[in-house]
Chain A
Amino acid sequence: MPRLLRILTIVSLTAAAVFTAGAIAGLREAPPVRPAGTTAVPADRQAQAIARAQDRLKVLPRDHATWAALGVAYVERARVTADPSLYPRAEGALRRSLSLRSSSEALVGLGALANARHEFAAARDHALAALRLNEFSADAYGVLADAYTQLGSSAAATRAVQKMLDLRPGLAAYARASYDLEQRGSLAEATALMRRALDAAADPADIAFCRDQLGDLAWSRGDLAGASAEYAAGLAAAPTYQPLLRGKARVDAASGRLAHATAGAASVAQRTPTPDTLLEYAVLLRVAGRTADADRQLGLAAAAHRVFEANGGRDDLAGAQIALGRGDSRTAVRLAESELSRRPFLEVADVLGQALHAAGRDREALGYARRAASGAPSAAYAYHLATVALSLGDRSTALTQLRRVRELNPYFSPADGPTAARALAALEARS
Chain B
Amino acid sequence: MTTRSRRAAAFGATALVLAATVAGLGPSAGSASSHREAPLIASDPAADNTDVYAFVSPDRAGYVTFIANWIPFEEPNGGPNFYPFATDAAYKINVDSDGDAKPDAVFRWTFKNDDRRGTKTFLYNNGPVTSLDDENLLFRQTYTLESSFGGGPFRTRIKDAPVAPSWTGAASMPRYQTLRDQATVTLQGGWKLFAGQADDPFFLDLRAFDLLYGGDLSETGQDTVAGFNVNTIAIQVPFKDVALGGDAKRNPVIGVWSTTDRNRVRITGDSTPTMGDDRVQVSRLGNPLVNELVVPAGLKDAFNSISPDKDAGIPAVVKRVTDPELARLIEGIYKIPAPATPRNDLVEIYLTGITTKAKGPIKADLNSQLNNKDVDPNRFRPSEMLRLNLGVPVSATPKRLGVLDGDLQGFPNGRRLTDDTVDISLQAVEGAAQTGKLVDALAAGDKVDANDQRFGASFPYVALPNVAAVNSGASASPPTAPAASPAAAPATSPPDMRPVAADQNTGRDAALVVAASVGGAAALLFLVTLGWLRRRARRI
Enumerate the 9 nearest inter-chain pairs by beta-carbon distance, A residue then B residue, closest first.
A279-B26, A430-B10, A416-B24, A325-B25, A136-B301, A136-B302, A175-B38, A169-B262, A347-B34
From A40, A62, A158, B267 is in contact (CB under 8 Å) with: A158
Q: Is the CB of A72 within 8 A of B41?
A: yes
A431 to chain B, nearest CB (A): 6
Give bound CA distance, A422 to B43, whole Å.
Answer: 47
B195-227 contact mask (Cβ, 8 Å, vs A): 1 or 0:
000000000000000100111000000000000
B474: A residues at CB distance < 8 A: none
In the complex, the answer to whether A345 meets B34 with C-beta atoms within 8 Å is yes
With contacts A104-B298, A169-B264 taken as known, whether A39 is within 8 angstroms of B17 at the C-beta atoms is no
Closest to B46 in A: A202
Query: Is there an interface contact between A170 and B298, defined as CB atoms closer than 8 Å?
Result: no
Among the listed stretches B97-105, B346-354, B409-417, B532-540, which one makes contact with chain A, having 4 or more residues with CB under 8 Å of it? B532-540
When chains A and B are docked, how far (Å) is the Cα of A391 from the Cα of B36?
Answer: 32
A418 to B20, CA, bound (A): 12
Report the bound CA distance from A333 to B95 in whole Å: 64
Closest A residue to B42 by CB, please name it. A171
- Which one of A6-14, A15-23, A138-146 is at the B interface? A138-146
Q: Report the Cα distance A236→B121, complex, angstroms.
A: 10
A381's contact among B25, B30, B265, by CB below 8 Å, is which? B30
Of the candidates B41, B43, B213, the one whose C-beta lies within 8 Å of that of A139 is: B41
Q: Which residues of A contact B (CB under 8 A)?
A: 39-43, 45-46, 48-49, 52, 56, 59-60, 62-63, 65-66, 69, 72-73, 75-76, 79, 103-105, 108, 112, 115-116, 118, 133-139, 142-143, 146, 150, 158-159, 161-162, 165-177, 179-183, 186, 189, 192-193, 196, 199-203, 205-206, 209, 212-213, 216, 219-220, 236, 243, 247, 250, 275-276, 279-280, 282-283, 286-287, 301, 317, 321-322, 324-325, 345, 347-348, 350, 358, 376, 378, 380-381, 383, 387, 390-391, 393, 395, 398, 409, 412-413, 415-416, 418-419, 422-423, 426-427, 429-431
* Whole-angstrom CA separation of A196 from B263 in the bound complex: 11
Instruction: Please determine whether B10 and A427 come into contact, CB atoms closer than 8 angstroms.
Output: yes
Q: A42-B80, A174-B265 are in contact. Are A243 and B41 (CB under 8 A)?
A: no
Do residues A415 and B262 form an inter-chain contact, with CB atoms below 8 A?
Answer: no
* Residues of chain A within 8 A of B28, CB atoms compared: 250, 380, 412-413, 416
B42 touches A172 (CB 8 A): yes
Q: Would you call B43 and A52 a contact (CB within 8 A)?
A: no
A168–B300 Cα gap in the complex (Å)?
A: 13
State whether A65 and B297 are in contact (beta carbons under 8 Å apart), knowing that A39-B79, A395-B11, A419-B17 are contacts in the complex: yes
**A205 neighbours in B (Cβ, 8 Å):** 39
Q: Which of B36-67 contact A (CB under 8 A)?
A: 36-47
A-B contact pairs, 15 of them (CB 8 A): A42-B80, A79-B39, A146-B37, A170-B282, A202-B46, A279-B26, A282-B26, A283-B22, A358-B23, A390-B11, A391-B15, A395-B7, A419-B22, A430-B7, A430-B13
- Whether A133 lies near B298 (C-beta < 8 A) is yes
Contacts of B15 in A (CB 8 A): 390-391
Q: Give every chain B residue within 8 A of A63 (Cβ-Cβ).
A: 213, 534
A423–B14 contact, CB under 8 A? yes
**Quick check: A76 and B40 within 8 Å, CB to CB?**
yes
User: Which residues between 72 and 108 of chain B lie within 8 Å of chain A, taking CB atoms?
Assistant: 75, 77-81, 86-88
Is B30 touching A276 in the complex (CB atoms < 8 A)?
no
- B1-36 vs A, Cβ < 8 Å mask (1 yes, 0 no): 000001101110111011001111111111111111
Q: Does B268 contact A (CB under 8 A)?
A: yes
Question: Which residues from B are CB-within-8-Å of A196?
Answer: 88, 265, 275
CB of A40 within 8 A of CB of B24, answer: no
Known contacts A161-B267, A345-B35; 15 additional CB pairs below 8 A are A49-B540, A69-B538, A159-B268, A168-B282, A175-B38, A189-B267, A196-B275, A202-B44, A216-B32, A216-B33, A276-B27, A413-B29, A418-B21, A429-B10, A430-B13
Hey, which chain A residues are within 8 Å of B282, CB to CB? 168-170
CA distance A299 to B280 in the complex (A): 50
Q: Please classify how large the interface on chain B is, using the bins under 10, 10 to 19, 20 to 34, 35 or more.
A: 35 or more
In contact, A158 and B210 (Cβ under 8 angstroms): no
Count of A-B contacts judged by CB separation below 8 Å: 282
- Which of B36, B39, B81, B302 has the largest number of chain A CB atoms within 10 A? B39
Contact B272 A431 (CB under 8 A): no
Partner of A134, one of B26, B78, B299: B299
Q: Which residues of A contact B14 (CB under 8 A)?
A: 390, 395, 398, 423, 426-427
Instruction: Determine if B22 and A287 form an interchain contact, defined as CB atoms under 8 angstroms apart.
Output: yes
Q: Which residues does chain A contribute within 8 Å of B37, judged by CB atoms?
A: 79, 115-116, 146
> Which residues from chain A contact B41 at a C-beta distance below 8 Å?
72-73, 76, 139, 172
Q: Which residue of chain B has its CB nearest to the CB of A176?
A: B38
Q: Which residues of A contact B122 (CB under 8 A)?
A: 236
Q: Tell me the nearest residue of chain A to B44, going by C-beta.
A: A170
A279, B25: Cβ atoms under 8 Å?
A: yes
**A172 B39 Cβ-Cβ under 8 A:** yes
Of listed A63, A162, A170, A209, residue having the most chain B CB within 10 A: A170
Pairwise interchain contact B17-A422, C-beta atoms closer than 8 A: yes
Which residues does chain B contribute within 8 Å of A236, judged by CB atoms? 122
- Which residues on A sit within 8 Å (CB–CB) of B190? none
A88 to B280, CA, bound (A): 36
Chain A proximity of B253: nearest CB distance (Å): 30
Closest chain B residue, CB of each to CB of A378: B30
Those of B488-540 within 8 Å (CB) of chain A: 534, 537-538, 540
In the complex the two chains form, what is the Cα distance from A196 to B271 in whole Å? 18
Please give, as numbers and ranges, the residues of chain A lying within 8 Å of B79 by CB-CB distance: 39-40
**Inter-subunit contact B266/A162 (CB<8 Å):** yes
B37 CB, min distance to chain A CBs, angstroms: 5
